[in-house]
Amino acid sequence: MLARPNRLTRGADYKAVVRRGDRCAGPHTVTYVVQSGEDRAARFGFIVSKQVGHAVDRNSVRRRLKAVCAGALPGIRSGADVVIRALPGSAATDFQELRSEVVRCLARRAA
């Protein structure tokens, strides 16, 4: 999973990334990336709303997104802030499809 330095924790950070970030949309997720230019580890945040499904479905999607980002972490520039918003169809997709979508967006915007 993602270590503490690799997580966005403040609401203001989420808001800044979503408002100012470069956007990459797929059928199941929307990825926002901001390059801060700071010398620190890349940070990730996840937005999974109630439109995705019940609590079990939302937590499952969040865990899968965290696993994908933990695997993609070595290829991400330092200082990057990434927010991934799960869309309603994300709960019904398999892990490989979700992984390929997120990795594609991260390669385009954060690598």
The CA-to-CA distance between both ends of the chain, in Å, stands at 20
pTM metric for this prediction: 0.93
CA 67 to chain centre: 10
| Domains defined along the chain, listed by start | 4-109 (3.30.230.10)
Name the token pair of 18. Answer: 């979503």
**Per residue of the chain (111 residues), what is the pLDDT tens digit?**
788 889 999 999 999 999 999 999 999 999 999 998 888 899 999 999 999 999 999 999 999 999 999 999 999 999 999 999 999 999 999 999 999 999 999 999 887
